[in-house]
Amino acid sequence: GESVGLHLPTLSVQEGDNSIINCAYSNSASDYFIWYKQESGKGPQFIIDIRSNMNKRQGQRVTVLLNKTVKHLSLQIAATQPGDSAVYFCAEKRANTGNQFYFGTGTSLTVIP
Amino acid sequence: GAVVSQHPSWVICKSGTSVKIECRSLDFQATTMFWYRQFPKQSLMLMATSNEGSKATYEQGVEKDKFLINHASLTLSTLTVTSAHPEDSSFYICSAQREGRTYEQYFGPGTRLTVT
């Protein structure tokens, strides 16, 4: 049969520009979040994480912002490079469901050289 | 460190047959492993949580008799897709949680299953 599903949102940026990828989560009990990068045909790679008692965390070229009031998470990539082209997912750990992580829809980032 | 492998990386099988996918943590012990399914251009959907030495916990809507999970050791979990049908064609990804490290989860490279 025909598969029906959501298509990934897409974002195109020029090389060297900053990228902002957004994620909305629905469970107010989520206490830990991770951003993953997934290249075609591969498993997800950890980028950066943040706990719910923080609102900002910085890594190398990446920053994650957490707004618990509106249940929103964003990933900022500075000076985006062609190697950053991939699909980005946020994943949330819900405080009352053990150690499982639940993934958001994802965003496909394309960096234009 | 923290490498997770999956075998096979891709498999094609005929409708009605069963396929086993292995997930191994190569350099650490994993008391918990997770199995995900991912359809093209979609997100990862958690299927089940596999705990070493006990029965797996399945997410709502996932048939436990169709997707058999065995976690016989601290470094190996297997997912068997029984009586596979074309709609089971998907990318199956496992992740392993390092023993004693609740928030550290490492993903395998995935297995592409095509059922003809």
The yes-or-no verdict on residue A8 having pLDDT over 90 is no
DSSP-assigned letter for residue A5:
-
pLDDT in tens, A22-65: 999 988 889 899 999 999 999 999 999 999 999 999 999 999 99
User: For A68-77, how does the pLDDT look when each residue is reduced to its tens digit (9 = 90+)?
Assistant: 999 999 999 9
Is a pLDDT exceeding 90 seen at residue A98?
no
- The whole-angstrom distance between A88's CA and the closest CA on chain B is 10
pLDDT of residue A46: 92
Pairwise CA distance, residues B30 & A18, whole Å: 37
Distance CA B116, CA B107 (A): 27
Q: pLDDT for B74-101, tens place per residue?
A: 999 999 999 999 999 999 999 998 877 7
Residue A7 — pLDDT band, cuts 50, 70, 90?
low
Please tell me the predicted confidence (pLDDT) of residue A5.
Answer: 42
Give the residue on B whose Cα is nearest the Cα of A39.
B109
Q: State whether residue B108 sits within 8 Å of chain A by CB.
A: yes
- Kindly list the averaged pLDDT for each block of 10 residues, start to end, along chain B of length 116: 92 97 94 93 93 90 95 93 97 90 86 97
* Helix count and strand count (H, E) for chain B: 0, 11
> Given a cut of 60, is residue A4 above it in pLDDT?
no
Which of A8, A43, A49 shows the shortest C-beta gap to B110?
A43
Residue range A94-108: mean pLDDT, rounded: 85
Q: What is the pLDDT of residue A94?
A: 82
CA A54 to mean position of chain CA atoms: 16
Question: CB within 8 A of A24, min separation 6: which ones?
Answer: A70, A71, A72, A73, A104
Interface of A with B (CB under 8 A): 1, 3, 5-8, 32, 34, 36, 41-46, 49, 89, 93, 98-106
Nearest residue to B4 (alpha-carbon basis) of B30, B23, B22, B32 = B23
Q: How far is the C-alpha of B52 from the C-alpha of B61, rounded, in Å?
A: 23
DSSP state of A7: P
* The pLDDT of residue B53: 84
Tell me, yes or no, if B92 comes closer than 8 A to chain A by beta carbon: no
